[in-house]
Structures are given as structure tokens and as C-alpha cells.
Amino acid sequence: MGTVTTEKTFYLASRSPRRRELLKQVGLDFEMLLLRSDPRRGVDVDETPLAGEPPLDYALRIARRKAEVGVHVSGLRSLRAKPVLAADTTVVLGDRIIGKPADRDDAVGILNDLSGRTHQVISVVAMAFRDRSEERVSISNVTFRQLKPAEIDWYVATGEPMDKAGAYGIQGRAAMFVTKIEGSYSGIMGLPLAETTELLQRFGISVL
């Protein structure tokens, strides 16, 4: 199995409140490890897709990088050595990666593109500890009903889409847009719990 830990907790290298809520939902103890994400002050992980990079390769690279950088940062901050959990959730329409909307008009455009169609949500969870790292992948299909322009305008006006890949949160108001899900609901939210708990156990952390 490789390097394991005797620690009972781990670091979560994510600012996502959804991921925190999901971990708490299943009773897991963790500590926050915030990486720099403000371009004005420098970022610890550049999340720009590489030219021609397939969406799955992108999600794997970003999740792995966040976890490995988290280990490095925890050492620089003289924190107790613990495994670092990180994740990346990538929304894909066709072969196009859809990130967080840049502004209101971008959010409207994204939701128009998703309207009446099926898209993929790729969630990769990664864990790193010392010189070891592993990843698990969850891929789900989400189908939206045909959305009316007034519905899209209303939803964007709530502000909910602005910090979310794909410009929607399935756990929020956008649930009324979804007609079909194939895959992991928690993965669509941003952290597939089945894969996450399996990974934690691989690193010696009890989930029961």
C-alpha cells in the first residue's frame, strides 16, 4: 500500500464550502489548508488548461497538483505532517471544459449552452502524503431540461452560478433544471464520497 499515516485527521486543500459540508456529512475530521488562489498575490496552483489537454487529464493533473502542493505548503508552514486531500471538479460539454463564469454574461451563455443537453461532470479526488500520491475519478452525466431565457436570467441574478464550474450548483436552486443524473450526486457537488472514503482508507485514515 505504500506510505500510510498514524494520524486520525487530514488536511483539506480546498476553499469549497460544498466539500467541507460533504466531509462533515459523513462525520470526518479534518483541518483546512488554504492554498493561495488570488492572482494579484500569486497562486499556488495554476488551473489554466494546457493546449489540447483532454478534460480528464486536466482534472487529474489539477487535483494531483493541489494535493502535492498542499504537502509542500504544510511543510513550509511548519505544520504537523498529515495527508492532504484535494479535488477538482470539471464540467464538460462535448470536449469543451466549462469553468467558473467570468461575469454575468458568461454565466448566461454557459447556461444557454447546457440547456436541453447532457453534460459530464468529472470529479477527481487526490491525496498526497510525503512522497506518495493517489487519485480516484468519478464521472457523472447530468441532463438539463430546456431552460427559458427568463429562468436563466432569474438564476444568474441570484448570484449562485458565479463561483461554480458550469455556472450552477446542483445542491441549490439549479436542482429544478435537472431531469436526469447518471453517476455520483456528491461527485457532481464537488467531492465524490465513495471514492474519497476509499482513498482515505488507502492512506490509513479510519472513516468509521
pLDDT digits (tens, 9 = 90+) for 63-74: 999 999 999 999
* Packing angle, helices 17-25 and 193-202, rounded to 10: 70
* 7 has a pLDDT exceeding 90: no
* 146 has a pLDDT exceeding 60: yes
d(CA 145, CA 180): 9
Which pLDDT value is given to residue 2? 60
- Catalytic-role residue among 29, 44, 88, 95: 88
Phi, psi (degrees; rounded to nearest 5) at 38: -95, 110
Which pLDDT value is given to residue 45? 82
Query: What domains are defined for the chain?
Result: 10-202 (3.90.950.10)
* 200 has a pLDDT exceeding 60: yes
Average pLDDT of the chain is 93
Which pLDDT value is given to residue 44? 84
Which pLDDT value is given to residue 203? 94
Mean pLDDT score, 142-160: 97
d(CA 35, CA 46): 11
Give the H or E element holding residue 38: strand 37-38
Mean pLDDT score, 124-138: 96
Q: In the chain, pLDDT over 90 holds for what percent of residues?
A: 85
Q: Give yes or no: 131 in active site.
A: no
Cβ pair 145, 179 in contact under 8 A: yes
